[in-house]
């Protein structure tokens, strides 16, 4: 089958595309910026096309010749995400119908079970997208999943960090609501299996794992699988979804903008009402993956640094920022820069290993308290903060999130350019370069660039400039030292 995957830069799309290729399907991926998929291991085997579901004029070429189209995008975490998702779904449906697509496959969320229960904005939007696609005139399968358990998923990261960091906690009462989580491997199995659905099938399916639990149960069972003591959990009435989302945002890597709709979704019970999907995609011989096994598999991936994709890869500013302009005049005549350069008594390969290892558990090589404080301040104003970490401790890809930065460009062995995603009155980049020098040495070049927006931007730069010698200067010095310590050299 010729398959179109939207959302291939995201958590599930980035895992689905290589599995479709492995099954012998032809895969075309639609991305707003093709470069975001440049460094994924399977990029050479897929066709990458640029397009935007909110710009219908960019879609006909992407849908041409497609037999199966996957809708795996959402605007969660952005202001006005319901409107954005409605527009994108309508454009996707129209393009699929015009191109003669044979099957649409969409992963949505659960529907509230209680009669008259008002869904959260997140669930309401997911359900609306499903209705739009089902009414497109193209046979559609809507898969409705609740919490997805897998390394790197937002739901798993919330669960993992809450349980590991808080041996005791006061929680909202919704932690006692029933949920039927599903392992990411089973979600992917269903997404691939729906390729072969009969053409007359045009409906929604509940997909879920074998265990019905409360979120409280999930935390206790996670603790057991992870080898942690039993957690003390005290549910109270006072914590509203809004307050809970701020609490989740402070404890976990998931920012408030994403935590809030996820938390609001957990207020509703999410237990599968049917298992009709098994008529078309039978359960595997050993049965669906249980919760404990799903957690163990996810933890093994995290600990072995084998996380394929993460929730943070797809999340970012509402509109993708333009790359760093080469001409400072682009900013209206002002571009603030901080330049650092050091000669390193080590070859470029050693220096590059230190550069590419920046962030996450390795930190930023200078004044950890200052970086931590900046991350907390960003969290307080609704930003992503410093806790997103990194997918792999040693290797980076274009488009990946790296703490409160995004990898904008990487030239292995030479250049790493990061674009800031913290809340700022302007736009900021950080560049790190490794260049060869004489006598087997290398040269480290570091450049921070800030393009201010209005008076607030100018005042911001001037207020933080006095600290640059400590933060950026210390960073350059310690990166050089880190490279030198990895190789022997004359004293």
Domain containing 405 equals 328-484
Is 424 inside a domain boundary? yes
Above 70 in pLDDT, residue 396? Answer: yes
Asked if residue 130 belongs to a domain, the reply is yes
For residues 341 and 395, membership in a common domain is answered with yes
Separation of alpha carbons 476 and 444, rounded Å? 8
| pLDDT exceeds cutoff 90 at 416 | yes
pLDDT value at position 253? 72
| pLDDT top residue among 275 and 327 | 275
How many CB atoms within 10 Å of residue 82? 15
Indicate whether 421 belongs to any domain. yes
> Quick one: how far is CA 208 from the chain centroid?
22
Domain identity same for 297 and 412: no
Q: Average pLDDT for residues 390-405, to the nearest whole number?
A: 88
Percentage of the residues of the chain whose pLDDT score is greater than 70: 87
pLDDT at 116 over 60: no
Res 491: pLDDT: 41
- Which of the 8 DSSP states describes residue 279? G
Residues 112 and 146 in one domain: yes
Do residue 262 and residue 336 come from a single domain?
no
Instruction: State yes or no: pLDDT of 329 exceeds 60.
Output: no
Specify the pLDDT at position 383.
74
Residues 357, 283 share a domain: no
* Mean pLDDT on 229-254: 74
Lowest mean pLDDT among 8-22, 155-169, 279-293, 441-455: 155-169
Tell me: pLDDT of 324 over 80: no
- pLDDT tier for residue 332 given thresholds of 50, 70 and 90: very low
Statement to judge: residues 351 and 299 lie in one domain = no
Range scoring the smallest mean pLDDT among 21-30, 123-132, 251-260, 474-483: 251-260
Tell me which of 253, 285, 313 is where a domain ends: 313
Give bridge partners of residue 270 from the DSSP assignment. Answer: 179
Instruction: Indicate whether 347 and 237 sit together in one domain.
Output: no
SS3 403: coil
> Which residues lie closer than 8 Å to 77 by C-beta, 6 or more apart?
255, 257, 258, 261, 315
Residue 319 pLDDT exceeds 50: no
Look at residue 321 and tell me if it is in a domain: no
* Residue 57 pLDDT: 96
- What burial class does residue 368 get, using C-beta atoms within 10 Å of its C-beta: 0-12 exposed, 13-18 middle, 19+ buried? exposed
User: pLDDT, tens digit, for every residue of 198-229?
Assistant: 999 999 999 999 999 998 999 999 999 999 99
CA atoms of 36 and 40, how far apart (whole Å): 9
Task: Quote the CA–CA distance of 106 and 120 in Å, as a whole number.
Answer: 19
List all residues 6 or more positions away from 294 whose beta carbon is below 8 Å from its beta carbon: 149, 150, 181, 182, 183, 184, 185, 209
Mean pLDDT of the 331-345 span: 82
pLDDT for 112 equals 63
CATH code of residue 407: 3.30.530.20
Assigned domain for 281 exists: yes
Taking residues 261-275, report their average pLDDT: 80
Q: What is the CATH number of the domain that holds 289?
A: 3.40.50.720
Q: How confident is the model at residue 244 (pLDDT cuts 50, 70, 90)?
A: low
In this prediction, residue 161 carries a pLDDT of 84
Lowest mean pLDDT segment, chosen from 58-67, 140-149, 362-371: 362-371
Question: Where do runs of H (alpha helix) occur along 359-432?
Answer: 368-380
Domain termination site, one of 278, 313, 348:
313
Residue 117 pLDDT = 56
What pLDDT shows up at residue 345? 94
CA 142, 37, 160, 274: dihedral to nearest 10 degrees? 10
Minimum mean pLDDT range among 8-12, 68-72, 262-266, 425-429: 262-266
Over residues 218-245, mean pLDDT: 83
Distance from C-alpha of 386 to C-alpha of 358, rounded to nearest angstrom: 13
Query: How far is it, in rounded angstroms, from Cα 109 to Cα 175?
Result: 18
Mean pLDDT (the chain) is: 86
Are residues 168 and 128 in contact, defined by beta-carbon separation less than 8 angstroms?
Answer: no
Which of the listed residues 313, 338, 362 is the one where a domain comes to its end? 313
Comparing CA positions, the residue from 399, 398, 400, 378 lying closest to residue 390 is: 400
Task: For residues 409-427, give the mean pLDDT.
Answer: 92
Domain count, the chain: 2
In this structure, the answer to whether residues 13 and 62 fall within a common structural domain is: yes
Same domain, residue pair 258 and 291: yes
Is there a domain that residue 356 lies in? Answer: yes
Q: What digits encode the pLDDT tens for the residues 23-46?
A: 999 999 999 888 889 889 999 999
Could you give the count of Cα atoms lying within 13 Å of 389 in the half-sphere of its Cβ? 18
Dihedral sign from CA coordinates of 465, 469, 475, 479: positive
Question: Both 301 and 439 in a single domain?
Answer: no
Q: Does residue 271 share a domain with residue 386?
A: no
CA 400-186-271 angle, 5° bins: 105
Within a domain: residue 176?
yes
Q: Is residue 489 part of a domain?
A: no
Do 307 and 337 lie in one domain? The reply is no
Task: Report whether pLDDT(316) > 70.
Answer: no
Q: How far apart are the first and last CA of the chain?
A: 63
């Amino acid at each position: 089958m010729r398959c179109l995957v939207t959302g291939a830069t995201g958590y599930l799309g980035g895992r689905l595309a290589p599995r479709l290729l492995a099954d012998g399907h032809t895969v075309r991926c639609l991305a707003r910026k093709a470069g975001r998929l440049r460094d994924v291991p399977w990029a050479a085997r897929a066709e990458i096309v640029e397009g935007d579901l909110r710009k219908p004029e960019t879609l006909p070429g992407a849908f041409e010749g497609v037999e199966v189209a996957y809708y795996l995008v959402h605007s969660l975490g952005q202001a006005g995400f319901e409107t954005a998702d409605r527009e994108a779904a309508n454009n996707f449906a129209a393009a699929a119908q015009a191109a003669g697509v044979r099957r649409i496959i969409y992963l949505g969320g659960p529907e509230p079970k209680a009669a008259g229960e008002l869904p959260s904005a997140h669930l309401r939007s997911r359900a609306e997208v499903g209705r739009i696609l089902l009414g497109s005139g193209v046979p559609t399968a809507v898969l409705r999943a609740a919490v997805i358990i897998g390394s790197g998923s937002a739901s798993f990261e919330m669960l993992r960090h809450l349980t590991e960091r808080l041996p005791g906690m006061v929680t909202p009462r919704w932690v006692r609501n029933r949920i039927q989580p599903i392992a990411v491997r089973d979600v992917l199995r269903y997404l691939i299996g729906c390729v072969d659905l009969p053409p007359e099938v045009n409906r929604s399916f509940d997909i879920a794992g074998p265990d019905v639990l409360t979120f409280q149960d999930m935390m206790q069972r996670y603790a057991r699988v992870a080898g942690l003591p039993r957690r003390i959990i005290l549910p109270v009435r006072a914590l509203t979804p809004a307050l809970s989302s701020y609490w989740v945002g402070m404890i976990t890597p998931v920012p408030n903008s994403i935590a809030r709709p996820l938390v609001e979704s957990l207020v509703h019970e999410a237990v599968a009402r049917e298992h009709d999907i098994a008529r078309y995609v039978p359960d595997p011989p050993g049965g669906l993956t249980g919760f404990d096994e799903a957690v163990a598999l996810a933890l093994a991936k995290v600990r072995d640094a084998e996380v394929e994709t993460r929730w943070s890869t797809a999340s970012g500013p509402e509109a993708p920022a333009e790359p760093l302009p080469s001409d400072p005049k682009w900013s209206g005549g002002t571009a603030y820069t901080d330049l650092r350069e050091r000669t390193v008594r080590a070859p470029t390969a050693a220096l590059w290993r230190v550069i590419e290892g920046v962030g996450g558990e390795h930190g930023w090589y200078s004044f950890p308290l200052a970086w931590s404080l900046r991350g907390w301040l960003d969290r307080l104003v609704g930003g992503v903060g410093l806790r997103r970490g990194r997918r792999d401790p040693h290797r980076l890809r274009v488009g990946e999130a790296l703490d409160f930065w995004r990898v904008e460009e990487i030239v292995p062995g030479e250049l790493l350019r990061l674009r800031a995603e913290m809340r700022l009155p302007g736009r900021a980049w950080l560049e790190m370069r490794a260049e060869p020098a004489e006598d087997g040495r290398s040269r480290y070049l570091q450049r921070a660039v800030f393009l201010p927006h209005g008076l607030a931007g100018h005042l911001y730069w001037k207020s933080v400039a006095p600290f640059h010698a400590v933060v950026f200067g210390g960073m350059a010095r310690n990166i050089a030292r880190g490279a030198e310590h990895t190789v022997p050299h004359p004293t």
